[in-house]
Structure 1
Amino acid sequence: MTQSHELVVGFDLDMTLVDSRVGIVRCMQHTLGRRGVTVTAEQLWPLVGAPLEDNLGGFLPEDQVQQAADDYRAAYLRLAIEPTTALPGAHDVVRAIHERGGRVMVVSAKNAHAVRVVLEHVGLRPDVVSGDRFAEQKAVTLREHDATMYVGDHAGDMRAARTAEIMGIGVLTGPHDDATLRAAGADEVLEGLPQLVARLDEFGRARQTR
């Protein structure tokens, strides 16, 4: 695979750049509660980062999933934006990439409109935003924009990087632990984004030798 020398870093959104747990739990409980299903935050936490329809399908009959997903997305814009915050290091890493003449991508399983609303709310301004992509599907967007590495908290994010044949950097701010991220293909696993800022030049050099 031929790679550009430009630094192009892709990021997942939920629990990678932003702490969205409260909003996601609130909207899932709202949506499922309207259909007579009670769920706890502990049940929902492991599901953060996976496609919405898959998560709803774990609690609802198949014929209710699409309407529930539509209800969730409408509720998300009302209930989930305000409690969402940027994770430590998010602004710093975007700034550091731009200072190096690089580009920042956000590639998420969340729909693109919601991704943009969240990013605007927390004051993050990437160069590229792509939604409705999960796991290996993210690799299509990463390749289209010549991404050089992908950062995420979910095993699906590491599978995306592996499929795109780029460096995968896992962060431990989401539901998946070090072993899970490495088993999915992570080249490195960090506590969070501050550690990525500190090692950005190192990773940039390493990817040129891959």
Structure 2
Amino acid sequence: MTHDPAPLTVGFDLDMTLIDTAPGIRTVLRVLGAELGIDFPVEEMTAALGPPLDLMLEPHLPAAAIPAAGDRFRELYPSHAIDSVPLLPGAFEAIAAVRERAGKVVVVTGKYAPNARLHLDHLGLDVDVLEGWVWGAGKADALRREGASAYVGDHVHDVEGALAAGVASVSVLTGGCSREELLAAGTHAVLDDLRAFPSWLEGHGR
């Protein structure tokens, strides 16, 4: 008796994989800094997006002030960081490539889920499942639950999540991590950007 293969499910990171959130995050950090009387080094802070907001703020604020600052960042975000954030090259095509194979698209991101949803809706990205506020190996639970066979990200910690889930790790160079860093972390494939993803997907699972 033969069994039909499991349907294709591909997970994607959001920030710097599908969308360029750096401009929006820089704006929010400037507004937050003005409220707090702190001149955040926003270029440095957004050079390699991916880690949770608390870790981004940690070097610049007392520990006791971080939770409230994080809450305020998330409150400011919808007004300052949605309209200015574009899709990265190949994002629509990457999702379409999964759809052409009757596949499911899962976004697994460290971003606060309601704000991630605003980006997806604003840019018209066709996504089946959104899992927010998960980071590194913590992404594995969602990937396993949804039956993903690959996870696409831009950061070494996205590689960590894919490997923890036991799925193919595909990395793009649109974030702050280099090809060498991503390969050293154990990724299975490095693409310049998502425009190369449909070709990679052609060979996935063969």
**1:112 alignment partner in structure 2:** 113
Give identity over the alignment, percent: 37
Structure 1 outlier segments of 4+, above 3 Å: none
Partners of 2:65 and 2:41 lie apart in 1 by: 20
Alignment of 1:70-149 (within 5 A): 70-149=71-150
Could you tell which deviates more after superposition, 130-139 or 177-186? 177-186
Read off the aligned partner of 1:115 and give its amino acid letter: A
Whether the 8 Å CA contact 1:172–1:191 is kept in 2: the answer is yes
Unaligned runs of 5+ in 2: none
Deviations 1:16-40 (A, max 9, x none): 0001110011112222332222133
- Displacement after TM superposition at 1:46 (Å): 2.9
- Displacement after TM superposition at 1:141 (Å): 0.4
Unaligned runs of 5+ in 1: 206-210
**2:49 alignment partner in structure 1:** 48
TM-score normalised according to structure 2 size: 0.94
- Displacement after TM superposition at 1:47 (Å): 4.2
**1:174 alignment partner in structure 2:** 175
TM-score normalised according to structure 1 size: 0.93
**2:11 alignment partner in structure 1:** 10
Alignment of 1:196-207 (within 5 A): 196-205=197-206
Could you tell which deviates more after superposition, 28-37 or 68-77? 28-37
* Residues paired across the two proteins, number: 202
Partners of 2:38 and 2:187 lie apart in 1 by: 36
CA RMSD of aligned residues (A): 1.2
